[in-house]
Amino acid sequence: MAATANANAQASPKRPVTPPIPVQVADEMQLAFLKCLQLYSETTAAELSKWEEEEATRQQAIQRQLAEAEAARQQAAAETAAAAWLQQQQVEASQNQARYQATMELANEEATYRRILQQQHFRANEEQEEPTEEERRKEDITVLMEHMLHTCNWHQRKVLAMLKTLIRHETTLRTQEQKLTALQNTDSQLQTTVSIGLARLSAVESTGSAVADCSPPLAAQAKQLEERINHVVASLGDISKFAGASTVSNQLQTLSDRVQQRPAAVAKEWKMPNFKIEKFDDYHKTDPLQWWMTFNAEADVHHVLPQRRLDALYLQLIGGAQAFMTHMAVTLECTIATLHTKITWEEFEKKWKTRFMVNNDKRHALNKIFRIFQGQQTSQEWLTEWQRLVANPELNLPFDSIRAEFFARSCDASTAALGSEFQYETFDAMISKARELIQGNRRAANEAQQQPGYVEKGKGQRMPQVAAIQQGSSEDHAASST
């Protein structure tokens, strides 16, 4: 572009040199001298006009070549940017696919390890009631590995959240960098335009001063042009300060204000991703913990926006779980689409875990204790279940409460055989005594009756003669006691 401009400048015709003004000789007539002077003026004006036309044509050709070169450069830059953007999109798509596959493989392996760890737990049977030292050691290792697995899951979620934040910051920085590059290009073009304008003004000023003495019309035009030049220079002020850093900052602020004032319809509409998980149904008792972890992994892989996370969750629910979110939206006087404006994701996550008992081992254990009664299963399994529930570190119940619940859910024969509940100081002593009784006392073992439910026993002192529970209604029990 610079070489073309230089070549055109070298090939441009030189400004014609004004010939000397004719002088009237002594014997020349006045009329002839005036005709000669008029011919001189017309000839000089014609040559100067011809040169100005040629110079204007040459400048137009130079500007046209510069514009074509600039357009070609911008088109090449746009094509390069489009190719780079397409390549970046392909790389991000492949990375997202790899993350999704890795997440799914990790979830499957985690489920497999969880099943393996569950199989490592000791289960008492008729042949072996107490675990051996090796089995107890395996039980401790299994519990430790389960806790470690939950800890790794928690750390993984935190890492995914940090990765999402870093990606968002990286996108913002790239956008700001593109804006700054565009502003720098605009500033460079502005400086070039000002330089060209100043060069033209200097050329016009020199031309006006050169032809000021040619003729009265040209002198008047030159004077008018000089006044205009002075007015433009006075309006611009100090040219050295025109392309300062403050100009770039002002343009950047102006562009930011324009972007913020754009209507919402111009923004690209967000599309809900397709989740490859089963819908959560509380009625069929889907495993809430595993499903919750899978949903969060899917949402993180698809980079679901925070304000769209509740919408994505609602679309993956059916039955009672969906009714839970609908009731919450009605209570907060909003819709599902605007629920994120009334409650944050962290607050909703707490309510969800409380409602569906996700990561709430204490509530699971308490709920199990309140629903198990002797007679619903074999007494050996019933005692083993009690041991497993009490061993839960999240239960944190005093021994007095556990002892009272154990006696309240034992059959009458077992309660009478155990004697007073206050004579037992530890849970192990109470369970050991119960195991001894069910091995030699069939009535205490309650093996002849399977109770689908349990009716609370009447208050008062239990009599030894009602040690056996007979089948029949409550009237039969009253008759047998008499």
How much of the chain exceeds pLDDT 90, in percent?
12
What is the pLDDT at residue 455?
37
Concatenated DSSP letters of 174-216? HHHHHHHHHHHHHHHHHHHHHHHHHHHHHHHHHHHHHSTTT-H
Contact 276, 103 (CB under 8 A): no
H or E element at residue 477:
helix 474-481
Please state the domain extents for the chain.
137-198, 288-363, 372-448
pTM of the model: 0.27
- The residue ranking higher by pLDDT, 477 or 445, is 445
What is the pLDDT at residue 253?
66
How high does pLDDT run on average in the chain? 76
Task: Identify which of 5-14, 246-255, 369-378 has the greatest average pLDDT.
Answer: 369-378
Q: Enumerate the H helices of 211-342 as residue ranges.
A: 216-236, 245-260, 288-301, 309-315, 320-331
Contact 474, 455 (CB under 8 A): yes
Tokens of 234: 């006075």
Work out the pLDDT band at 370, boundaries 50, 70, 90: low
Measure the CA–CA gap between 154 and 297, rounded to whole angstroms.
Answer: 12
Mean pLDDT of 46-72: 91
Output the CA–CA distances (angstroms, integers) from residue 124 to 392, 413, 434, in the order listed.
Answer: 17, 23, 15
State pLDDT tens for residues 23-57: 777 777 878 878 887 888 888 888 888 888 988 99
Residue 327 has pLDDT above 50, yes or no: yes
Work out the pLDDT band at 479, boundaries 50, 70, 90: very low
What is the pLDDT at residue 474?
37
What is the pLDDT at residue 226?
75
